[in-house]
Structure 1
Amino acid sequence: MTSRGANALLSRAIRMETKLKSVLEASVLEIEDVSHQHAGHAAVKGSEGETHFNVRIVSPNFDGQNLVKRHRMVYDALADELQSGLHALSIVAKTPQEVAQNK
């Protein structure tokens, strides 16, 4: 089996977690599959699910980056997923310092 074939056996959430932790060095990562809330939408029809996710990520790599750049970093890390059926992400992206200030 090719590595892509083996990769396809893992859930999208697990693949996303692996990529975000390694590429963005996430210290906090919460991934919630909310695809069921979008059943029947045009982008979901004919798919096998796992199309819509909420992502909360804390990464030191976001330091000095504005919100748009942070989101772009997440999208870049998940480019393969976006090309293979991931339709929508809701992203909360913070630095460790921002999280510590809000405690």
Structure 2
Amino acid sequence: MIQQTIEQKLHLAFEPTFLDVLNESYMHNVPPGSESHFKVVVVSDAFLGDRLIARHRKINTVLAEELAGMIHALAIHTYTPQEWNDKNQQSPNSPDCAGGGK
């Protein structure tokens, strides 16, 4: 299961204080049961001092194998623990699919 693989890899790489991996494939025009569109929320001290692009590069590096084949779209939300608390421990909702979604 791709979702479990993503969770395991992100846990090992970032030791997050909060991790949420959501399979949002159902929101898109894909067959039922697909695992191709994901949203990840990672809260970790590993992002201290990093700009947004550096954080995303870290995530992309960890998930390079999955992004090269199985994952079509990945929404990434990264926070330090303080940023996460400042945002009331909430990440933005994903937008509706623009490519023929449901």
TM-score (norm 1): 0.76
Counterpart secondary structure, 1:71: helix
The separation in 2 between residues aligned to 1:69 and 1:86, in whole angstroms, is 20
TM-superposed CA distance for 1:101, in Å, is 3.3
Residue of structure 2 equivalent to 1:4: none
Unaligned runs of 5+ in 1: 1-10
The separation in 2 between residues aligned to 1:102 and 1:36, in whole angstroms, is 27
Q: Within 5 A, what are the aligned runs for 1:1-103?
A: 11-40=1-30, 49-103=34-88
Counterpart secondary structure, 2:60: helix
Which digits, 9 at most, give the CA deviation of each residue in 1:28-75, with x for residues without a partner? 0001101122225xxxx8xx7211011111011000000111111111
Which structure is larger by alpha-carbon Rg, 1 or 2? Answer: 1
TM-superposed CA distance for 1:84, in Å, is 2.4
Percentage of pairs with the same residue: 36
Residue of structure 2 equivalent to 1:8: none
TM-superposed CA distance for 1:102, in Å, is 3.9
Q: CA RMSD in A?
A: 1.7
Aligned-partner residue type, residue 21 of structure 1: H
More helix per residue: 1
Unaligned runs of 5+ in 2: 89-102
The separation in 2 between residues aligned to 1:60 and 1:67, in whole angstroms, is 14
Structure 1 residue ranges (4+ consecutive) displaced by more than 4 angstroms after TM superposition: none
CA contact (8 A) 1:19 1:78 kept: yes
TM-score (norm 2): 0.77
